[in-house]
A and B are shown apart, each in its own frame.
Chain A
Amino acid sequence: MFSFDERVIPLDVWITSFVDWLVEGYRWFFQIIKWPVDFTLSGVSDGLQAVPPLLVILVFGIIAWRVSGFKLAGFTVGSLLFIGLLGFWPETMITLAMVFSSVVFCTVVGVPFGIWAGRSDRFNDLLRPVLDAMQTTPAFVYLVPIVMLFSIGNTAGVLATIVFALPPIVRLTSLGIRQVHPELVEAALAFGATNWQVLLKVQIPLALPTIMAGLNQTIMMALSMVVIAALIGAGGLGAPVVLGLNTLDIGLATVGGLAIVLLAIILDRITQSMGTKKKN
């Protein structure tokens, strides 16, 4: 009887040598990919840290007030002040910059892919297993190759975050495009719309609330990667949590976690209000 005692397919070996081969031969390629991410991240991060904290809080308060109302504005200002008083202001700004950068790249890449998938069944079929893998593969699996290809630090953290946070915006953009009534597309064609016009004047405007929901989900996923990104040397609010974990400093870990939760609620409520505003 066959008992699976021996390894017949040495897949792990193959993968290791494949990644080694990539690292040796094509590191330059990954450095090129890294560059725009690095550039955006350091720009946003430096910017946020240069601005006086109270001004940042004020701007967030105004945004919350504009998209929702006084209630959310009050919560936002209060939470940010509280985070500042906990002594996590610089970390919060780094996390914010990382979330912002990864979300920007997720949007830039995800929305076009989502539109393509929404309009082509074939591409959608091709893309779905890839997205499934991106969402379900434990982050620890791709942390190693990311470190090998991009080294450690904030930028590598953002890249890992992009991998994890990309699927929702692609999926929901595709869904939004598919949800547009075929009659509306037909009506546009009947009046002489070109493919571009159908996309720009009918499909995207009508898919926008769904795309915004995807953006919201992507932001949430990005925030949930903060701690994992800290494992490969990324700074921000994940760092105190990881440090607390390593040193069994329960207080430090909890306070770091609390700041992440508060930031998540703020970003979630603001982007959700933006989505529903567009709908009305």
Chain B
Amino acid sequence: MHALVIDLVQESRTAQKCAMENNMEKIVIKNLYKVFGSDPKKGLSLLEQGKSKDEIYEQTGLTVGVQGASFSVNKGEIFVVMGLSGSGKSTLVRMLNRLIEPTSGEVLVDGEDVLKMSKAELVKFRRSKTGMVFQSFALMPHQTVLENAAFGLELDGVDKKDREERATDALKQVGLEGWEKAYPNELSGGMQQRVGLARGLAVDPDILLMDEAFSALDPLIRTEMQDELLKLQDRHERTIIFISHDLDEALRIGDRIAIMEGGRVVQVGTPEEILQNPADDYVRAFFRGVDPTGVISAGDIVRDTQPTVIWHTKEGGPRATLEMLSNRDRDFAYVLDSERRFLGIVSSDSLRDAIDKGNGKSKLEHAFLGEVKSVWDTESLQDILPLVASHAWPIPVVNSESIYRGVVSKNRFLRTLHRAENGSHFEQPAA
């Protein structure tokens, strides 16, 4: 199970990188404001005069929900909006499909401004482009699981046979086969949210809005649902806006994270970027108490400090390697192929053994140490800790194409932890 999750995290991160390379901006939010109250325009002009949220509330009774939010979400990424309650994150996500009408700003989806849509266009937009999953599940208690999953399609006027087929398929995707005829109140919380997810997926939206979707679930189920989401994302890439107040959740599933405070977006970046370089004390405070080993990946602290040798078929490899190691006063050499893919590790002891046994005909691979394992650069420190602790040699790190990137030594591992605990500033990853 665990290995699978790592796998999935890895894949979703690769997916994110692809999306970044293509620079496909699915959703662009520009200067979005929401002021609640009877005269929002007045609130806006006070904000422009530089008044703070609290001052405006005291003066006019207007509540500033979101102020000046600007960011873009790439196609196919999981974008987590995180903040404490009252920070405006739920308001923000509801402005994307205009469940809450923004006071000013722009929301561009595929280049089209959602705020300029007519009522009919908006209905069409909601039916075809977006699905939504709610914290409270918001399932219709008078409808069966199947009818609930088919709800969006029913609104869209899809005929019964067709929509039931698609809803059945969506339920299958979330692992609820056989529960079609049950009613929501007969299901556990986790299963109910699976129905909620199926309802969102059945309409096959480009964009999935998830408002604290897993917050009401107990921790074990929550993790399970996060895995489920990553798995679904792996199979069918959607743009997901995920609202959460749970940092672990944000770090676990987010390709990028936006942090909100008092209606403002204070920082947007990948989990690593935010952790390593928090924008202000608020963000830093957020991360206090986070176990850094779960967030920093091997790739973040990898160093290419160890001697490497390129494997070739010629004889006499072991001798030359041994010579090099003793010249440099090192114990281990990392063997790569001509494309720098990691093959194995040799030590001065294993090289000597191989030379003794081979009568001058020994090859480099005869000296390979047993039980050598490399780790992916996306694996977290938590995951590689057992390997680092139990082996004498620094652990080799490879990227998703098995290309050798360097090693993580015990020393470096400990130093990283030490820094992480003494301040929230981590060393920048090796170039």
Contacts and interface: CB of A to CB of B under 8 A. Distances in A.
Interface of A: 181, 183-184, 186-194, 197, 201-202, 205-206
B142 A191 contact: no
Interface string B14-42: 00000000000000000000000000000
A126 B136 CA distance: 33
18 contacts: A181-B136, A181-B138, A183-B136, A184-B140, A186-B134, A187-B132, A187-B134, A190-B130, A190-B209, A191-B131, A191-B132, A192-B125, A192-B155, A193-B123, A201-B140, A206-B140, A206-B141, A206-B142
B203 A191 contact: yes
Contacts of B155: 188, 191-193, 197, 201
Contacts of A186: 99, 134, 138
B64 to A, nearest CB: 22
Contacts of A190: 97, 99, 126, 130, 132, 209
B-side interface mostly: mixed
Contacts of A183: 134, 136, 138
Contacts of A206: 140-142
Contacts of B199: 191
B152 interface: yes
A202 B130 CA distance: 20
Contacts of A187: 132, 134, 138
A181 B155 CA distance: 19
B126 A194 contact: no
Contacts of A193: 123, 155
B127 interface: yes
B99 A189 contact: yes
A191 B155 CA distance: 8
Given A184-B138, A187-B132, A194 B99 contact: no
A186 B203 CA distance: 17
Interface in B90-127: 97, 99, 123-127
B111 to A, nearest CB: 21
A206 B156 CA distance: 21
Contacts of A189: 99, 126
Nearest to B147: A201
Interface in B131-181: 131-132, 134, 136, 138, 140-142, 151-152, 154-156
B367 to A, nearest CB: 63
B140 A202 contact: yes
B192 to A, nearest CB: 13
Contacts of B141: 206
A191 B138 CA distance: 12
Chain B interface bracket (under 10, 10 to 19, 20 to 34, 35 or more): 20 to 34
Nearest to A209: B142
A206 to B, nearest CB: 6
Contacts of B130: 190
> Which of B124, B130, B132, B142 has the most chain A CB atoms inside 10 A of its CB?
B142
A192 B152 contact: yes
A202 B140 CA distance: 7
A202 B143 CA distance: 10
Contacts of B134: 183, 186-187
Contacts of B127: 191-192
A191 B126 contact: yes
A156 to B, nearest CB: 41
Interface string B368-380: 0000000000000
A202 to B, nearest CB: 7
Nearest to A187: B138
A190 B213 CA distance: 15
Nearest to A208: B142
A115 to B, nearest CB: 17
A266 to B, nearest CB: 29
A191 to B, nearest CB: 4
B123 A194 contact: yes
Contacts of A202: 140
A192 B124 contact: yes
A278 to B, nearest CB: 9
Nearest to B199: A191
A187 B141 CA distance: 13
A192 B126 contact: yes
Contact of B151 (A181, A191, A194, A205): A191
A199 to B, nearest CB: 13
A183 B138 CA distance: 6
Nearest to A189: B99
> Which of A181, A189, A197 has the most chain B CB atoms inside 10 A of its CB?
A189
The 10 closest A-B pairs by CB, nearest first: A192-B127, A192-B126, A187-B138, A191-B152, A190-B132, A183-B138, A192-B123, A183-B136, A205-B142, A193-B155
A104 B54 CA distance: 55
Nearest to B203: A191
Contacts of B131: 191
Given A183-B134, A186-B134, A191-B199, 19 more contacts: A181-B136, A183-B138, A186-B138, A188-B155, A189-B99, A189-B126, A190-B126, A190-B130, A191-B127, A191-B152, A191-B203, A192-B125, A192-B126, A192-B156, A193-B155, A194-B123, A205-B142, A206-B140, A206-B142
Nearest to B141: A206
Contacts of A201: 140, 154-155
Contacts of A184: 138, 140
A11 to B, nearest CB: 38
A3 to B, nearest CB: 48
Contacts of A181: 136, 138
Interface string B227-239: 0000000000000
Contacts of B209: 190
Nearest to B156: A192
A20 B170 CA distance: 68
A206 B143 CA distance: 10
